[in-house]
Amino acid sequence: MKKSERLILESSSPDEYVSNSLKSRLSPAEKARLARLWMENTGYTRDDIIQARNRNSYWRKRKMEGAAERTKRRMEEHNYSQGKNIEWTREHIAEFLTLNRKDAYGRYLRRDWELAAHFETSIPSIQYLRRKYNKVKKMLGPGAKREKIIDYMSCSELVLQHGGPKSRRRKR
What percentage of the chain has pLDDT greater than the value 70? 96
What's the CA dihedral at 103, 106, 110, 115 to 10 degrees? 140
**Residue 142 banded pLDDT, cuts 50, 70, 90:** confident
The answer to pTM > 0.85 is: no
In angstroms, the CA 58 to CA 19 distance is 9
Q: Which residues pair with 108 in a beta bridge?
A: 102
Q: Which residues pair with 102 in a beta bridge?
A: 108
pLDDT tens, 24-65? 999 999 999 999 999 999 999 999 999 999 999 998 898 888
Whether the CA torsion 155, 158, 160, 163 is positive or negative: it is negative
Burial string for 118-155 (b: 16+ CB within 10 Å, else e) reads ebebbbebbeebeebbeebeeeeeeeeeeeebbbbbeb
CA gyration radius, the chain: 24
| Mean pLDDT across 102-131 | 93
In angstroms, the CA 130 to CA 115 distance is 11
